């Protein structure tokens, strides 16, 4: 059973747009491009919602809101920049400049925009909305989370996104 269906503009190397329709079910994402290509990507978690962005697909992992939030929680938002890439967790720049995985289960995506590249989040705990700028993570930002291993960081930097307030 299809749970989500949406148009997404993936980007091929060289910044070439790849207009596609994405069909998600419980276990996988099927991507069908306007040029007739089709891709299949397994989901690593249950998806609560899916959103198109300037950089590809944004996936929100299913979570239950928590009264007490721990920094050790698993990431809740993931990006898929190309159907052949692995899904990567989103990084978030909090006030004060601290960089971390987007892992607060109380923050839910309610809107995305390609131009300008924005994400609107709703905090179910406080009832407040916040607007975030969405961009690709830099290699330096990604290296912080890769332990300095350049081989994995190169892939990670290409397939992770960053949001900042």
The confidence band for 146, taking pLDDT boundaries of 50, 70 and 90, is: low
Mean residue pLDDT of the chain comes to 84
Could you tell me if 74 and 60 are in contact, meaning their C-beta atoms sit under 8 angstroms apart? no
The confidence band for 165, taking pLDDT boundaries of 50, 70 and 90, is: low
* pLDDT score recorded for residue 143: 74
Residues of the domain holding 65 = 4-164
* pLDDT score recorded for residue 91: 87
Domain tally, the chain: 1
pTM (two decimals)? 0.84
pLDDT digits (tens, 9 = 90+) for 29-77: 999 999 999 999 999 999 999 999 999 999 999 987 665 656 557 899 9
Q: Tell me the mean pLDDT in the region 104-124.
A: 93
15 Cβ contact list (under 8 Å, min separation 6): none
Tokens of 42: 């397994």
Residue 45, φ and ψ in degrees, nearest 5: -160, 165
């Amino acid at each position: 059973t299809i749970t989500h269906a949406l148009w997404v503009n993936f980007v091929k190397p060289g910044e070439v747009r790849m207009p596609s329709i994405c069909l998600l079910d419980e276990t996988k994402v099927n991507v069908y491009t306007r040029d007739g290509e089709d891709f299949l990507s397994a989901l690593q978690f249950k998806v609560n919602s899916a959103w198109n962005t300037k950089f590809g697909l944004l996936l929100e992992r299913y979570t239950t809101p928590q009264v007490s939030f721990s920094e050790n929680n698993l990431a809740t938002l993931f990006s898929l920049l190309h159907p052949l890439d692995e899904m990567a967790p989103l990084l978030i720049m909090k006030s004060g400049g601290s960089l971390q995985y987007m892992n607060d289960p109380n923050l839910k995506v309610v809107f995305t925009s390609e131009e300008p590249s924005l994400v609107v989040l709703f905090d179910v705990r406080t009832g407040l909305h916040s607007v975030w700028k969405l961009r690709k993570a830099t290699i330096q930002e990604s290296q912080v989370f890769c332990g300095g291993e350049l081989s994995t960081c190169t892939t990670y930097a290409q397939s992770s996104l960053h949001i900042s307030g």
